[in-house]
Amino acid sequence: MIFTSPALSYTLLSPILILLGGALIGVLVEAFVSKALRPVVQLTLSLGTLMLALMQVWRIRGEESLTPAMGSLVIDGPAVLIQGSILIIAIISIFLIADTEQFTPLAAALPGSAEERQAEQAGNQVTEVYPLTLFAVSGMMIFPIATDLIMLFVALEVLSLPLYLMAGLSRRRRLASQESALKYFLLGSFASAFFLFGAAYLYGFSGSITFSGIQAAVVGGTGNDVLLLIGMSFLSIGLLFKVGAVPFHSWTPDVYQGAPTPITAFMAAATKVAAFGAMLRIYYTVFANAEWSWIPVISAIAIISMVLGSLVAIAQRDVKRMLAYSSIAHAGFLLSGIIALNKSGLDATIFYLFAYGIATVGGFAVVTLVRDSSGEVTDLNRWKGLGKRSPFAASAFALFLLAFAGIPLTSGFIGKFSIFSAAYENGATAVVITGVLSSAIAAFFYIRVIVLMFFTDAVEDGTAVEIPSILTRATVIIAAVITLVLGIYPAPVLDFITDLAIFIR
Amino acid sequence: MDASNYLYISALLFTIGAVGVVVRRNAIVVFMCIELMLNASNLSLVTFSRINGDLDGQVMAFFTMVVAACEVVVGLAIIVAIYRSRRSASVDDASLLKR
Amino acid sequence: MKWLSLLMLLPLAGAAIVSALPKGNDKAAKQAALGTTLVVMAATIAMAVGFQRDNVDLQYVESYAWIPSFGINFALGVDAIALVLILMSTILAPIVVLAGWNEAHGGRWSVKTFYILILVLETMMIGVFAATDLFLFYVIFEAMLIPVYFLIGGYGSGERSAAAVKFLLYSLFGGLLMLAAIIALYVMSGAQGGHTFDIDKLSQLQMSSTTQNLLFLGFFIAFAIKAPVWPFHTWLPDAANSATPGTSVLLLGVLDKVGTFGMIRYCLTLFPDASKTFTPLIMVLAVISILYGAFLAIGAKDIKRLIAYTSISHFGFITMGIFAMTSQAQSGSILYMFNHGFSTAALFLVAGWMISRRGSSTIADFGGLQRITPIMAWSFFIAGLSSLALPGLSSFVSEFLVLVGTFTRYPVHAVIATFGIVLAALYILIPVQKALHGPTTPGNESLKDLNLREKLAIAPVIAIIVALGFYPSPLLKVINPAATHVISQMGFTDPAPSNGGK
Amino acid sequence: MFISNTLVYLIALPLAGAAILLLAGRRTDKWGHLLATAMSASSFGVGLYQLMLMLDRPTEQRPASQKLFEWIHVGEFKVDAGLLLDQLSICFVLLITGVGTLIHIYSISYMSHDKDRRRFFAYLNLFIASMLLLVLGDSYLNLYVGWEGVGLASYLLIGFWNQKPAYATASKKAFVMNRVGDMGLSFAIMIAFATMGTVSFVGVQEQVSQTSEAALTAIGLMLLVAAAGKSAQFPLQAWLGDAMAGPTPVSALIHAATMVTAGVYLITRSNFVFDAAPTAQLVVVIVGAITLMFGALIGTAKDDIKKALAASTMSQIGYMTLAAGLGPVGYAFAIMHLLTHGFFKAGMFLGAGSVMHGMNDEVNMRKYGALRKFMPITFVTFGLGYLAILGIPPFAGFYSKDLIIETAFDAGGAKGIILGITTLIGASITAFYMTRVMILTFTGTKRWDGDAHPHESPWLMWLPMAILAIGSVSSGYLLSRGDALENWLYPLFDHSDEYQKHLIEPIIVSGMALTMVAIGVAVAYFKYARQDVSSTAPEDVSIFTKVARQDLMQDRFNEAVFMRPGQALTTTLIATDQAVVDGAVRGVGQVALSSGSALRGLQNGYVRSYAAIILVGAIALIAAIWVVVS
């Protein structure tokens, strides 16, 4: 047996390598840098890593390769776009994570124990959240460019495991936070098991663990369709779980609510991008020729996601839960981009993902601002009159809500328009009509929040808006600007996406 | 012996695991059920590897084991934290977040 | 000269100036807003002067690539219909600003914000009529809900936020239906020679009659909600009741016209066959609107709701005229849109002054105003007469044209609709009697008559109402070619005199 | 046709007067009434000048027209702002401006104590202008403008003292009922345009021969509805009595001499339509006959002097309508009666105003009595009017009314006999109630309260009364001498079916009429002059009197048939709008909200149930696969 060293294209892989390297250095920093310096060092390190990775992504735009890592990964236009989106979202999320007020000083300490108080008084900070974030980002970067089942599974776990932990790090309401971590972990592993089982059957169907092999089997139509269908379904369960589509959505509200808000922001935005990035690649290339089998199923899932997400969101009293249900509805909208199965669907989905991700981070960023003496206030009733107390926070939040609702002149509208027209092009009339109608329902609760903020008199209960740092403010502003610009003049971005977004097989 | 029998066993194990997740309360047991599901998948992988006559499936099974080990680390950390703060490993007790 | 984009930029520039003003300087904000709207009005008039009235093509055409990958252009252009409506909007704007000089003070937010919203809204009002790209139209159609929403919810009275929400949700719902139809059109255009939103090109799409009917409904329901046509009207009374008078004027006078404008520009042009299919139904809805609105107005206890109900009736006339497919009815409808803007403006503005003086909008709280505040009372009375379409005032010309034009093709509808004029007399004279006549009720003795500013605001409105009543020719000459063009595009010609079957 | 460029001044002058007085407001308080009177008078002057010009022209060129500007041109619907002055309209022009000016003069004094006198004069001028537009417009649509214009002026004048709720209601009632009539005019115009493609008088006249009788009948009937509204004819008569709420000069001008005769003008003007639509004509006659009896019967029971006169007006216009419905023979007589009636009824109304002026605005005749001594001039002028309306030769009414009765008989057959007898009975009842008015007001014993100081009115008031009295005496003779009016109007009407010889000799008809009048006078004399009259209305009266006092139940009828159901409908619709239409919308919202709340239940917080949901999803997928595969 001759051992040939693997041929790796380091330039194309550099963004991922940089991230992994940064994450490992972060671990070392935890070990060797003094407590006082750690926050600054970690923040700088993470930001630097992310920026560098983003620069590398920018540099490799337009490059295409099926074999940057021996056929396990692929770099093409969509890959670059998804990776870029993830990095941009990660950067503005890091700004939020930098607000250490949000995190418990000592994750190991019992909630409410003396130990915890001591740690708090000592000014301890869980700086390990930075390397965790970088690891998660690395997983997210790999997930949409993986081209074999092993890579896909490993990437899925690499992105998930740090998130499970990060969900449990909240400083306030630690019990809830830990609970959310538990739920996220158990359900996530549960879904992973389905995913893996599906992967096994796909392997059984095609005799290959590479996407190209599976695709060839699908095209050839020689394999056992039952194996294909089971494999496809169970693999999809894993993916649909990650994007939070009904009926695999149940973790979303609880985890979104329980996790520290900066983590929720990061998770809600970046995971969705990564997971949909992977779905796009899998459905547009691997399963494209089996569309007869999955389009009806995904359509049904899209429809119930949109409807259920919108309906239940109406009844929410907690802003984070409401955004969670809204994200379920958005998962439905995004699935119509998968159903589209055409070039415009691909462009539209990528655009939508970016626009939605940015607005989501912006929205949660505003949530972190609204506080009382014991921390964040997420009860919507206490958001009354926010417009008077902080026009900045309230108008920004209103803008993000309008973007979620898909009101023209926000990015959400362009996204919705393009994704629905792509789906309609592929004959998904029912999905489009449900999408439009559930947008109307969705508008109902977005507008209700706007009413609360602007048209309801404030209750004096100590709820105030605090801007913890320039970074959080920057997040809100950047997100708002992007949301507006993409709504008013999206042409450059759209053209950029259209030019780049071509899958290579 | 027909290789497909291993597939049936795998499916059965997977089902047992899945049902276990739903019916058992203890977080550790739930987690073990999930591990059972992962191992059921491994069994399938290995079986398919055998049927197909290549090693990809077996390689993947190894990866799965590694990943499962990682999951154990993370999972136990979380479960222990919960147990410490709640003095209970029942997943039903952790139901603050709902509706 | 790029007239239309200039017109759209001017109010935005004004808004920028207002927002740059120091905090608390309300007077400067008002003056800047008034100045801006006056400049816009002057510019619109200057543009209108150069309009070639016998040319039925779009004029002052401009087009800039906006989102090329979707075939979307920032394309502007006006035909006579759009021109007339833009003219109406920009003339109303300074009047609203002047008339509502103090109405921003009771609001949740600063006076400055109020005028920024008004100016942004003005840009959108111009844009929505000038857009010749369906996507651009839709964007403005939806986006203009936002400033109105904040104007109602932030500066209105009573159940203002509930009314604002109702307005917004209702409109959004209609808008989303239209969006679905627009998506379908867009996709079809892609399949038939390239993605486009150009109305001309879209009107040449081939589609099955079922598709056409469904898409027509998507558009029509949106416009029927906007207009509003029975039974999609229930948001209007609430909104008008809660909004400030100035906002109500813009809402009923301008925004609602987008609905009827859309029916002509989009429903008829894009779906001629479906329009014909649905005409019988729409005619019935229109007639119901006319009578229903009138009856509700008769029973209204609140003066603002009353005016809103009268508008439902009037929009019934407009809708009926649009679908009657005769040149008289069509011209009449277009003229009606213009005239209604002013008569409703007059009613709402005067009602607003009455309400702000009395502190109540219940009709029964007034009484004997004619003797206490004669000028205010007269203004209201004349506005009311215009609303009931008294000959010699502008609405008569348009209303009669609609009726006579409808009669030649749909005699039964026209006859039933004509009963509306008796009801109109009731719904105007009942409040006139209760509020202006009779003995002075307690609490009214010391009301002040209109001041100079208010007189300056109402005078041009009344002047326009009277002038166009006696001499509508200048407008009709502009409107007629466009109206005839619409009819002939639909393949209709006016019915010849029947000689009663002899 | 002759083109004249001065016709517009007829309208422009009073319109300018109204505009100046209304716009300049209180600044014109001092001299406003003079300006208004001058404007009216100048318009009369222009009218006379136009008459002179017209007399100078040969018969066929007498009509003059003036196109002012293009008004409404859309497609084939072309209406210009154009005026037409022909032999018919000049009669009205002179009546309107002539009587109008007199009433202006009268009002200077009558309204001198009212602080809003200027406004009153503005309205009067507005009315004159609108009325002139009505009779001068060269198309139905132009006429319509004037038609509603007089409605507006009438509304303003009836409600001049609208601080009294009843008066405000009366004005509203008048306007609304008029609008019902206006609707008829709208219909007529629409039908005319749809069938003939034109709405001008000339155009319609030309098209009549090409148009089916059905269409013409429809137009005719709709014109009749319009006429009934404006002229207080059955069934739209109910507003006239209430309209007496306005100041008395208004009643004289609008509700006696001019506006209420607009219906007669409209029918006469549309002679070409009616001549070709015999059914419509018959209905006109029937409406006229019913109204003349209706008004007369109401007149017998009224104690309010103005309402008695109003009822009489209604009845007299019934005569005119009846005459106009009799075709070419009747048009001229309708116009003649209209003119003479304009003099004597205006005179009597002014007389009534004079009496009220002296009696602290008391209108109840039972509180009058023996006023002859205190107001001799009023008594004389009123008396001359009385003689005229009775039709005593040689007073004006004799000529005009007798001609109508004759023509009615001449209609021939049963129709002729019924109409003839109706007109005769009407004449008798007229004599009865007018005599009653005379007796109650001027003779017998005084029944007024102590604080009334009856006195004769100042000269500004009695002068117009005197002039009108002269008209009451002489106009009939002048107009009928040598069939002057008939010949004057002759070219306008279609005489293709020239009327036959009189069926009954005129002298016999006159005899019958005078007999009937004498009976009426005698009954009244015995009932009121020979018995004491109580100062309050007796309660123990026959059911007929009670019904007549209530205007023959007209208001009750309208209330029961239109008003109450209308109100009920309004209330129902408002409730429906809230509950059903808006309810449906809110219901959709509620359904969304409650289903959202219900679905929240799925999220019960137990991680195991979440896993179960995922499992259910997985099972569903497997089931789907199973379905696909098998």
Domain positions in chain A: 10-500
- What are the boundaries of each domain within chain B? 4-86
Q: A414: which chain C residues are within 8 Å (Cβ-Cβ)?
A: 67
Give the highest mean pLDDT range of A6-10, A104-108, C83-87, C148-152. Answer: C83-87
- Report residue B91's pLDDT band, with 50, 70 and 90 as the boundaries: confident
Provide the 8-state DSSP code for C22.
P
Q: H-helix or E-strand containing A198?
A: helix A174-206
Q: D612: which chain A residues are within 8 Å (Cβ-Cβ)?
A: none
User: Which residue, among D320, D305, D313, has the nearest Cα to D344 in the 3D structure?
Assistant: D313
Verify whether the Cβ–Cβ distance D71 to C471 is below 8 Å.
yes
Verify whether the Cβ–Cβ distance A421 to C186 is below 8 Å.
yes
**CB neighbour list of residue A245: distance below 8 Å, 6 or more residues apart:** A301, A302, A305, A328, A331, A332, A335
Residue C405: its pLDDT value, please?
A: 92
C-alpha R_g of chain B? 16
pLDDT at residue D630 is higher than 70: yes
C-alpha span between C162 and C457 (Å, rounded): 30
D64-74/D77-85 β-pairing: antiparallel
Residue D496: its pLDDT value, please?
A: 60
C-alpha span between D262 and D92 (Å, rounded): 9
Measure in Å the smallest separation between the Cα of D116 and chain C Cα atoms: 10
What is the fold of B4-86? Helix Hairpins (1.10.287)
pLDDT tens digit string along C17-44? 998 888 878 888 889 999 999 999 999 9
Q: Is A247 on the interface with D (CB under 8 A)?
A: yes
- Block residue for tokens 């309360």: B25
Verify whether the Cβ–Cβ distance C422 to D176 is below 8 Å.
yes
Residue A494: its pLDDT value, please?
A: 92
pLDDT tens digit string along D576-626? 888 888 888 888 888 888 888 888 888 888 889 999 999 999 999 999 888
Average pLDDT over residues A452-466: 76
Residue B64: its pLDDT value, please?
A: 92
Asked whether A and C share 3 or more beta-carbon pairs under 8 angstroms, the answer is yes
**CB neighbour list of residue D442: distance below 8 Å, 6 or more residues apart:** D368, D370, D371, D372, D379, D382, D383
pLDDT tens digit string along C271-312? 999 999 999 999 999 999 999 999 999 988 888 899 999 999
pLDDT tens digit string along A3-24? 788 888 899 999 999 999 999 9
- Report residue C502's pLDDT band, with 50, 70 and 90 as the boundaries: low
pLDDT tens digit string along C220-230? 999 999 888 88
A311 closest CB neighbour out of D595, D622, D628: D595
Measure in Å the smallest separation between the Cα of D617 and chain A Cα atoms: 6
Residue D619: its pLDDT value, please?
A: 92
A455 closest CB neighbour out of C140, C161, C187: C161
Return the minimum-mean-pLDDT range out of A85-89, C17-21, D272-276, D549-553: D549-553
Residue A53: its pLDDT value, please?
A: 95
- What are the boundaries of each domain within chain C? 3-501
pLDDT at residue B45 is higher than 70: yes
Verify whether the Cβ–Cβ distance A494 to C67 is below 8 Å.
yes
Residue C34: its pLDDT value, please?
A: 92
User: Which residue, among D592, D609, D591, D611, has the nearest Cα to D601 in the 3D structure?
Assistant: D609
- Report residue D500's pLDDT band, with 50, 70 and 90 as the boundaries: low
Q: Report whether D122 contacts D28 (CB < 8 A).
A: no
Residue D580 in tokens: 């059903």
Average pLDDT over residues A449-453: 86
Residue A475 in tokens: 């997040």
D607 closest CB neighbour out of B18, B94, B99: B94
B44 closest CB neighbour out of A111, A201, A207: A201
Owning domain of residue D581? 558-629
pLDDT at residue C497 is higher than 90: no
pLDDT tens digit string along D51-62? 888 888 888 888
Residue D501: its pLDDT value, please?
A: 64
Verify whether the Cβ–Cβ distance A182 to D622 is below 8 Å.
no
Verify whether the Cβ–Cβ distance D210 to C502 is below 8 Å.
yes
Residue C480: its pLDDT value, please?
A: 92
C-alpha span between D140 and C412 (Å, rounded): 21
Residue C13: its pLDDT value, please?
A: 93
Q: At what angle do helices A391-405 and A411-425 cross, to 10 degrees?
A: 10
**CB neighbour list of residue C40: distance below 8 Å, 6 or more residues apart:** C7, C10, C11, C14, C90, C93, C94, C122, C126
- Report residue D1's pLDDT band, with 50, 70 and 90 as the boundaries: low
A161 closest CB neighbour out of B10, B71, B82: B71
- Report residue C435's pLDDT band, with 50, 70 and 90 as the boundaries: confident
Q: Is C155 on the interface with D (CB under 8 A)?
A: no
Best to test chain D binding among A314, A325, A446 (most D CBs inside 10 Å): A314
Nearest CA in chain B to A116: B85
Residue C259: its pLDDT value, please?
A: 92
Q: C328: which chain D residues are within 8 Å (Cβ-Cβ)?
A: 74-75, 77
Show which of residues 436-465 on chain A sit within 8 Å of chain C, judged by CB atoms: 436-437, 439-440, 443-444, 447-448, 451, 454-456
Q: Is C500 on the interface with D (CB under 8 A)?
A: yes
pLDDT at residue A282 is higher than 80: yes
pLDDT tens digit string along A233-279? 999 999 999 999 988 999 999 999 999 999 999 999 999 999 999 99
Verify whether the Cβ–Cβ distance B86 to A175 is below 8 Å.
yes
Question: What percent of chain D clears pLDDT 70, i.e. is strictly above it?
Answer: 98
SS3 D318: helix
Q: D615: which chain B residues are within 8 Å (Cβ-Cβ)?
A: 18-19, 21-22
Helices (H), C359-449: 369-372, 374-387, 394-409, 411-431
A226 closest CB neighbour out of D621, D624, D629: D629
Instruction: Tell me what the pLDDT averaged over chain A comes to.
Output: 90
Number of structural domains found in chain D: 2
Quickly list DSSP for D388-405. HHHT-TTSHHHHHHHHHH
Residue A257: its pLDDT value, please?
A: 92
Q: What are the two backbone dihedrals, phi and then psi, of residue B6, each rounded to the nearest 5 degrees?
A: -65, -35
Measure in Å the smallest separation between the Cα of D6 and chain C Cα atoms: 19
Q: C400: which chain D residues are within 8 Å (Cβ-Cβ)?
A: 72, 141, 186, 189
pLDDT at residue D498 is higher than 60: no
Helices (H), D111-212: 117-136, 140-158, 165-196, 201-207
pLDDT at residue A392 is higher than 80: yes
Residue A330: its pLDDT value, please?
A: 94
Instruction: Tell me what the pLDDT averaged over chain C comes to.
Output: 89
Question: What percent of chain D clears pLDDT 90, i.e. is strictly above it?
Answer: 19
pLDDT at residue C107 is higher than 80: no
Return the minimum-mean-pLDDT range out of A280-289, C299-308, C360-369: C360-369
Cα distances from B87 to residues A301, B82, C13, in angstroms, run 39, 8, 65
SS3 D237: coil
Residue A384: its pLDDT value, please?
A: 85
C-alpha span between C378 and A181 (Å, rounded): 72
Measure in Å the smallest separation between the Cα of A451 and chain C Cα atoms: 7
- Report residue C359's pLDDT band, with 50, 70 and 90 as the boundaries: confident
Q: B94: which chain D residues are within 8 Å (Cβ-Cβ)?
A: 607
pLDDT tens digit string along D358-385? 888 888 888 887 788 888 888 888 888 8
User: Which residue, among C365, C351, C364, has the nearest Cα to C454 in the 3D structure?
Assistant: C351
Q: Is A293 on the interface with D (CB under 8 A)?
A: yes
Asked whether the CA dihedral D446, D452, D456, D461 is positive or negative, the reply is negative
Asked whether the CA dihedral D342, D344, D348, D350 is positive or negative, the reply is positive
- Report residue A146's pLDDT band, with 50, 70 and 90 as the boundaries: very high
- Report residue D497's pLDDT band, with 50, 70 and 90 as the boundaries: low
A407 closest CB neighbour out of C68, C142, C153: C142
C-alpha span between C400 and C395 (Å, rounded): 8
pLDDT at residue D448 is higher than 80: no
Residue A383: its pLDDT value, please?
A: 85
Instruction: Tell me what the pLDDT averaged over chain D comes to.
Output: 86
Other CB atoms within 10 A of residue A177 CB? 29
Q: D608: which chain B residues are within 8 Å (Cβ-Cβ)?
A: 21-25, 30, 91-92
User: Which residue, among D308, D318, D296, has the nearest Cα to D231 in the 3D structure?
Assistant: D318
- Report residue D2's pLDDT band, with 50, 70 and 90 as the boundaries: confident
Measure in Å the smallest separation between the Cα of D624 and chain A Cα atoms: 8
Residue C63: its pLDDT value, please?
A: 92
Question: What percent of chain A clears pLDDT 70, i.e. is strictly above it?
Answer: 99
Q: Is D214 on the interface with C (CB under 8 A)?
A: yes
Q: A241: which chain D residues are within 8 Å (Cβ-Cβ)?
A: 614
Q: Is A229 on the interface with D (CB under 8 A)?
A: yes
Asked whether B and C share 3 or more beta-carbon pairs under 8 angstroms, the answer is no
pLDDT tens digit string along C139-186? 999 889 889 988 888 888 878 888 888 888 888 888 989 999 999 999
Asked whether D and A share 3 or more beta-carbon pairs under 8 angstroms, the answer is yes
Verify whether the Cβ–Cβ distance D190 to C403 is below 8 Å.
yes
pLDDT at residue A484 is higher than 80: yes
Verify whether the Cβ–Cβ distance A425 to C184 is below 8 Å.
no
Phi/psi-derived region of residue D2, left when phi > 0, alpha when psi is between -120 and 50, beta in every other case: beta
Residue C97 in tokens: 């600003």
Verify whether the Cβ–Cβ distance D611 to B22 is below 8 Å.
yes
**CB neighbour list of residue D566: distance below 8 Å, 6 or more residues apart:** C298
Measure in Å the smallest separation between the Cα of A500 and chain B Cα atoms: 32
- Report residue D224's pLDDT band, with 50, 70 and 90 as the boundaries: very high
C-alpha span between D244 and D356 (Å, rounded): 13
C-alpha span between D11 and D212 (Å, rounded): 36
Verify whether the Cβ–Cβ distance A186 to B31 is below 8 Å.
yes
Best to test chain A binding among C144, C152, C167, C172 (most A CBs inside 10 Å): C172
Give the highest mean pLDDT range of A29-38, A63-72, A347-356. Answer: A347-356
* Structure ipTM: 0.89
C-alpha span between A207 and B88 (Å, rounded): 45
pLDDT at residue D499 is higher than 60: no
Residue D605: its pLDDT value, please?
A: 85
Does any domain span residue D303? yes
C-alpha span between D35 and C456 (Å, rounded): 28
Verify whether the Cβ–Cβ distance D168 to C170 is below 8 Å.
no
C-alpha R_g of chain A? 22
Verify whether the Cβ–Cβ distance D616 to A226 is below 8 Å.
no
Burial (Cβ within 10 Å: 0-12, 13-18, ≥19) of residue D282:
middle
- Report residue D238's pLDDT band, with 50, 70 and 90 as the boundaries: confident
Three-state helix/strand/coil letters over C438-454? CCCCCCCCCCCCCCHHH
Nearest CA in chain D to C431: D172
pLDDT at residue A335 is higher than 70: yes
End-to-end Cα separation, chain A, in angstroms: 30
